[in-house]
Structure 1
Amino acid sequence: MPYVQADNTGGLEKKVTVHTLKKMRGNEKFAMVSLYDAPMAAMAQKCSVEAVLIGDSLGMTVLGYDSVIPVTMEQMIYHVEAVARGNDKSLIISDLPFMTYATPEQALVNATRIMQAGAHMVKLEGSAWLVETVRMLTERGIPVCAHIGLTPQSVHKFGGFRVQGREQERADTLVEDTKLFCEAGADLLLVECVPAWLGTEITKASTIPVVGIGAGNETDAQVLVINDILGLTPQPPKFSKNFLEETGNIAGALQKYRDDVKSGQFPSSEHQFT
């Protein structure tokens, strides 16, 4: 029996919680979509998408910036509130934007604002330096998704959107970061743009659900940006797929994405890095 049941309209029957996703780990894959407004949030709920992410990717997909760096807390709060109005069943996760969690104290203030706007969890990008912050937030009742691998807020440090972890030393660091975040109390781990073999190693090393984006097919879940699912990105990344092209309508595209994630058909080898 699936862990997430549909109601008589085909949508989510019950509210998806952190506990739900943890029970699914190792038993049933789940789907996450990064989206930014009430209509799309409502569509995701209708298509039984277990988790939605208000990513700071909205800077590029909605606001026209060339990176996520300019995105502000006010912009994130605005979109979190919109998504929360459109969806009362999926788990709602929100990024904290660039330089709003440089210290644990700053993170606590801004995570509080995001949670009060309607999020159920905050997502933070980083490595070992972030462990103290994750521990502080989780001890105070704020669920955290830690984001490792390619972290878009560090794009200028990386010198562009580059696959991470191809070198053994970097791969070992990402596996170690995974263990540190699990020990610090993180509830989810998101890993972006790493070789498929490393996505598998990270998932094995983790004690919490691992969400992949360009991290292979062995993670516990997948996330894609709604613009990529609907073919709205002019130069889509390798790990994405236009599901609208196959289905012809938005609901069908979201449903096909969720179904293919849960069955393991997506991502296929053409959407993975080596």
Structure 2
Amino acid sequence: MSADKITAKDIRAMKQRGEKIAALTAYDFPMTRLLDESGIPLLLVGDSLGMVVLGYSDTTLVTMEEMEHHVRAAARAKPRALLVADLPFKSYETVEDALQSARRLMLAGAEAVKAEGGHSIEKQVRAIVADGIPFLGHLGMLPQHVREEGGYHIKGKIEAERQSLLADAQSLVEAGAFGIVLELVTKTVAGELTRSVPIPTIGIGSGSECDGQILVTHDLVGMFPWFTPRFVTPRMNGAEQMRAAVQDWKKSL
């Protein structure tokens, strides 16, 4: 990959080269700039900001206006990385809704959009891609469905889920998605799915056989100490370091 702006086409090409894709979430200007300077090729303004930034209980409470606000902040960093934004809950129920919502996020500064689902949103994905907007899929555990599912559950443990995941992935490929996030999918099924599709899979809690990995940055650096997913090993204790720095400054007054 050159030093030029990274595109969805570049991300897709990384799979063909066997190059692992590192992706992280970014919700504001400084974090976007720091992660971009660290060489992360794909940054996601995820609706996970609902929990780790806004204090909501889950992603279903995040509004389009809030997503636009955070996309604008991240876009001001002018990252070399591809900047992807989540379509929030209930913003892509119909083809018309999906197109309008995707266009709003692109106007805010996103360079691609992501939404949850496979065959059920195939028409929406086709319309978004036909409009010239790169689309990143999301299969497995779907956080926007956490309430109806009664929590976060690993997918692919039973044959019906395996078949559904494979079929949904094929639907996204045929609709024109440039990649698929796999959240909480069994390692075996995630590996099978990765080998079966021509576009990259980016796992989160789905094992090491995906083409790449994505994490919530706050989890990676220990900046949300009140909850850490079981599949995450924080690489630093940012919250404790921050507390220590603040306390040290306070003592120096």
Same fold (TM over 0.5): yes
Alpha-carbon distance between aligned partners in 2 of 1:249 and 1:54, rounded to the nearest angstrom = 25
Query: What whole-Å deviation, never above 9, does each CA across 1:117-161 have from its counterpart, x for those lacking one?
Result: 111110000131101111111111111111110010000121101
Query: What whole-Å deviation, never above 9, does each CA across 1:40-68 have from its counterpart, x for those lacking one?
Result: 10001110000100000011000001011
Alpha-carbon distance between aligned partners in 2 of 1:178 and 1:249, rounded to the nearest angstrom = 41
Alpha-carbon distance between aligned partners in 2 of 1:232 and 1:45, rounded to the nearest angstrom = 18
Corresponding position: 1:40 with 2:6: no
**2:27 counterpart SS class:** coil
Alpha-carbon distance between aligned partners in 2 of 1:226 and 1:22, rounded to the nearest angstrom = 22
Alpha-carbon distance between aligned partners in 2 of 1:143 and 1:47, rounded to the nearest angstrom = 24
The answer on whether the counterparts of 2:32 and 2:79 sit within 8 Å (CA) in structure 1 is no
Corresponding position: 1:17 with 2:16: no
**2:44 counterpart SS class:** strand
**Alignment match, 1:184:** 175
**Alignment match, 1:114:** 105
Instruction: Quote the offset at 1:87 in angstroms.
Output: 3.5
The answer on whether the counterparts of 2:223 and 2:237 sit within 8 Å (CA) in structure 1 is no
The answer on whether the counterparts of 2:9 and 2:178 sit within 8 Å (CA) in structure 1 is no
The answer on whether the counterparts of 1:59 and 1:67 sit within 8 Å (CA) in structure 2 is yes
Query: What whole-Å deviation, never above 9, does each CA across 1:65-111 have from its counterpart, x for those lacking one?
Result: 10111100010000001111114201000001000000011000010
2:76 to 85, 110, 115: 85
**Alignment match, 1:52:** 43
Using a 3 Å threshold, how does the CA distance of structure 1 residues 223 and 95 change in structure 2: closer, same or farther?
A: same
**Alignment match, 2:91:** 100
2:222 to 231, 237, 245: 231
Instruction: Quote the offset at 1:170 in angstroms.
Output: 0.6
The alignment's TM-score, normalised by the length of structure 1, stands at 0.84
- Residue identity over aligned pairs, in percent, reads 37
Alpha-carbon distance between aligned partners in 1 of 2:68 and 2:42, rounded to the nearest angstrom = 18
Query: What whole-Å deviation, never above 9, does each CA across 1:5-53 have from its counterpart, x for those lacking one?
Result: 5xxxxxxx32111111111104211111012010010001110000100
Corresponding position: 1:66 with 2:81: no
Across the two proteins, how many residue pairs are aligned to each other? 239
Q: How does 1:155-194 map to 2 (within 5 A)?
A: 155-194=146-185
**Alignment match, 1:202:** 193
Residue type of the partner of 2:23? M
The answer on whether the counterparts of 1:45 and 1:87 sit within 8 Å (CA) in structure 2 is no
**Alignment match, 1:262:** none
**Alignment match, 1:257:** none
Using a 3 Å threshold, how does the CA distance of structure 1 residues 70 and 95 change in structure 2: closer, same or farther?
A: same
RMSD: 1.7
Alpha-carbon distance between aligned partners in 2 of 1:84 and 1:217, rounded to the nearest angstrom = 30
Residue type of the partner of 1:235? F
Alpha-carbon distance between aligned partners in 1 of 2:126 and 2:170, rounded to the nearest angstrom = 13
Instruction: Quote the offset at 1:245 in angstroms.
Output: 4.3
Using a 3 Å threshold, how does the CA distance of structure 1 residues 46 and 156 change in structure 2: closer, same or farther?
A: same
Larger radius of gyration: 2
**Alignment match, 1:258:** none
**2:76 counterpart SS class:** helix
Corresponding position: 1:30 with 2:21: yes
Query: What whole-Å deviation, never above 9, does each CA across 1:174-208 have from its counterpart, x for those lacking one?
Result: 01110111011111111100111111011112111
Alpha-carbon distance between aligned partners in 2 of 1:123 and 1:212, rounded to the nearest angstrom = 14
The answer on whether the counterparts of 2:84 and 2:110 sit within 8 Å (CA) in structure 1 is yes
